[in-house]
Amino acid sequence: MALPDRSFFDLLAEKAAAETLPRFRSGTLITNKLASGFDPVTEGDRAAETAIRALISEHFPEHGVLGEEHGNIGLDREYVWVIDPIDGTRAFISGLPVWGTLIGLYQNGRAIMGMIDQPFTRERYFADGQASFYRGPDLDRRLATRDCRTLADAILFTTSPHLFEGRQLEAYRSVESRVRLFRYGCDCYAYALLAGGHIDLVIESGLKPYDVGGIIPVIEQAGGIMTTWDGDRPENGGFIIAAGSKTVYEQAMAFLNDGTLK
């Protein structure tokens, strides 16, 4: 069975951008998906996923689709697309260009190809099954994570420490207190920075498959490591750690997997 190539991923990203960019910083309509709390979704989320799914259905009708906004079909098929049309909707509605469109392809449950697209900054990170690549306004290059040799020299990102609770928060803080620099609030863009060799560690909680499906291949095929806190494959989301080097990964895992999840 023929697999999609980079040009097809590019087409998916462009169709999504045609729906998201006109609504960015435009006062787009926001709907809250939670009766208690705040889980926003915009017109852009729904329209972008619709556009992506239409192209997949046209070109790869035998594939399944797992999407954030419009449900799932064919999750038992060999190939399944995993879509988050706007990862970082809170950033999107706040005017921050750290959101992105995530498009992943799973084969028998494992992420093999993926893309992180940030159309406002015109940056695209793509994993073709063997290697990861960056395309920006002035540069095309192959991606490689940074070989940071110690946690004490690492730069750490997380969306927000408020997403951790109880013993998981203690575990996260134990890592945060040992790195050189930590920053908050970059959503999927933090993983793009890690794949590009700019930072060393991302630690998250409560992620869904569509939050990681497009990211996993980009990180792994750039030379990084991405797992759950207990060392399992990350395709189903949950508590996630991504690191650019094995040394930083192992040192961080010593604090995350010391019994805090049991």
Q: What is the average pLDDT across 46-70?
A: 94
> What is the pLDDT, as a whole number, of residue 40?
59
Q: Does 115 lie in the same domain as 179?
A: no
Q: Which of 36-50, 63-77, 143-157, 226-240 has the lowest mean pLDDT?
A: 36-50
Judge whether residue 261 has pLDDT over 60.
no
Q: Does 135 lie in the same domain as 232?
A: no
Q: Does 17 lie in the same domain as 126?
A: yes
Judge whether residue 2 has pLDDT over 50.
yes
User: Containing domain of residue 97, as a range?
Assistant: 6-142
Judge whether residue 35 has pLDDT over 70.
no
Judge whether residue 106 has pLDDT over 50.
yes
Band the pLDDT of 262: cuts 50, 70, 90: very low
Q: Does 160 lie in the same domain as 112?
A: no
Task: Among 142, 160, 182, identify where a domain stops.
Answer: 142
> What is the pLDDT, as a whole number, of residue 180?
98
Judge whether residue 29 has pLDDT over 70.
no
Instruction: Give me the DSSP letters along the chain.
Output: -PPP-HHHHHHHHHHHHHHHGGGTTTT--EEE--SSS--EEEHHHHHHHHHHHHHHHHH-TTSEEEESSS-EE-TTSSEEEEEEEEE-HHHHHHT-TT-EEEEEEEETTEEEEEEEEETTTTEEEEE-SS-EEEE-SS-EEE--------GGG-EEEES-GGG--HHHHHHHHHHHTTSSEEEE--THHHHHHHHTTS--EEEEEEE-HHHHTTTHHHHHTTT-EEEETTS---TT-EEEEEESSHHHHHHHHHHHTSSTT-
Q: Does 175 lie in the same domain as 95?
A: no
Q: Does 136 lie in the same domain as 35?
A: yes
Q: Does 84 lie in the same domain as 181?
A: no
* Number of domains present in the structure of the chain: 2
